[in-house]
Structure 1
């Protein structure tokens, strides 16, 4: 995590929230009140994001042998929960305000000043950890909310409260839209999607540069920057198996340095089976390289590799 800009994000978010909360309480705008409730949710989610980023940096242990990288997304889930709570409370406030109320003209100024602080916070957050970009996505809604709130509260103070109430409903609708989009992004992260094709091509190229022919390669994304998977390779003809093991270990270390945790199986029996079945690397329906005629699964390939005398 690049944390140098994090204090700026925290201070700017606090300043924006303080201005909007004060304005909503002092000047009576329901649109600004909905805006202020999202500010409270924003502060709660920021605290959760920072907490989960800190525990995600812990080294691998017995329960998490691949590390704690995905715990970072606990902050994104907390953000989603906090904003949904704010959305429910806002809906109740708007429903209770249909009988009429007075809107102070200063509400629009408070919305604009608070929005200015949040604009700076969004710019700072987008340059940090990918999880903070989820927070930045929600915080970006504060900018839209500030513009809508400023306009609706000004109209509410000048022409009638219904304009301010409509502005609050628009802010609430946008908040719900952002929640749905964040849910979709998190679902993609947690669904073990295949790595981009460029990563497949990188692994294949690095393997062939070392005289190792890939027979099957499977990669999945752990988060936006790291992946894991397994690779079955056979050495070129005439290469001793101990040399192939050394080269496979070198390949594993190279890919680990690039953010990809690979389990590599080396054997010669797979070459004979691939030659007999016409196997080799192909491209699956989703565009990711898959094995054709690779025969056994990972566990079976591992045992066959052990029987044939080589594994790494």
Structure 2
């Protein structure tokens, strides 16, 4: 083969490789763009639904509402977390069923997990990867910072938890100071649960709760009975914390209650009523006395006719 023939073959080979390379790069770009078109960030229209689902999961977990947790998770959901102890990171992994079984054998105290930052990635409006940077709080005192990583999948128009894992981080003493606003959020969450004893835990042992000039319920057992009466009447009850207002004789906790009347002698109407509790706080940062006030007239009207009538 002469020199001119070798040059011709080499030139032809280089041209072929260049064409293939360009085609490969173009195809790769097309594939990447196609994949990206089905993946959206936190600007997605789904974001609100996903955040609402995550908050429901955290609320059910903080209230140890096992029935609600079961509804919000897949049967084979898994839980894992890692925490540094004595300079060594230790891992724990359990299934959701193992987690629920373990709860039944523990002495429970309510907590509220408050998320400070979300990162959300959604694919095809069906699967979401969620990073939720949160702090676990009990009775107004911040505890562990937990950076959660979650996978949620949509099933029958509902976002459900497939897996969750988190890293747990101790916080400095400076960050673990009592915050009455966090206390109020936790109190409202406890009222939105299924465990009336959790409501009573926000009171001193000899604390009291009075509702609309009625007899005071004194002691945690009596307060728990008051909470149970509302939870029975409104099984889907949610209590929203609206605001705190300083008063000369305490602090006013403003709330809004929504729920459906389930009393067998009732009309089955939904109610939405707002009111406030005037708290006297103890030195131990629990409620010493609470005097609750809301419009009995409006409450009874809604029980009879509903919200809009």
TM-score by length of 1: 0.22
More helix by share: 1
Q: Which one has the bigger strand percentage?
A: 2
The TM-score with structure 2 as length reference comes to: 0.22
